[in-house]
A and B are shown apart, each in its own frame.
Chain A
């Protein structure tokens, strides 16, 4: 069956460092991969989308890579700030449905 795994439940880093979150998948050939941010009590908010034929995408302090051979995406937040503290979810889609990993809770300490 399809499986989407995010590397850890929680990640704690110091302000100013780079946070790296991992999303691995099996038994899936997604057309795209997305990353979302979710704050407590709120719905997810879209951050970045990368398609299967793209290797890397950037947006301000965010960078996402997509390796369809390794079946893995890495999500980086550079120069992290306490305001970046949230749960980050990866989502995979195949032009029809969209399925999520369990998320990684990131805490950036001042």
Chain B
């Protein structure tokens, strides 16, 4: 049972490039979340989804896009990378809105 899997683990992007952070879960969870964590800070919610085909903005959605075409996958897209998007990105999933969340290992992204 893999849980929540994020790829890649590390990535360096140049300003203006785009990329997709992948997240997949094998627990048949309805809810999925994307967070970013800057050094020494807590997690900020970027986007979340309560089921396939449904996504909604969190606290810091600007510069990001998401899609949820299947229950398992919740990719996060950065269209025009900026240095302010340098961060560690965590994907998480939960069965419902009031149950524990399981986190992936994170993607460390540097934009130069």
Residues of chain A whose beta carbon lies under 8 Å from any beta carbon of chain B: 4, 6, 9, 31-32, 34, 41-46, 49, 51, 89, 91, 93-103
Contact = CB atoms under 8 A, between A and B. Distances in A.
B40 to A, nearest CB: 8
A97 B48 CA distance: 7
B99 interface: yes
B92 to A, nearest CB: 8
Interface stretch (B13-21, B67-75, B79-87, B102-110): B102-110
B100 A46 contact: yes
B43 A44 contact: yes
Contacts of A49: 98-100
Interface residues of B, number: 28
B103 A31 contact: no
A97 B56 contact: yes
Given A34-B101, A100-B44, A100-B45, 9 more contacts: A43-B92, A44-B90, A44-B92, A46-B101, A49-B99, A97-B45, A98-B48, A98-B94, A98-B101
Contacts of A6: 42
Nearest to B35: A100
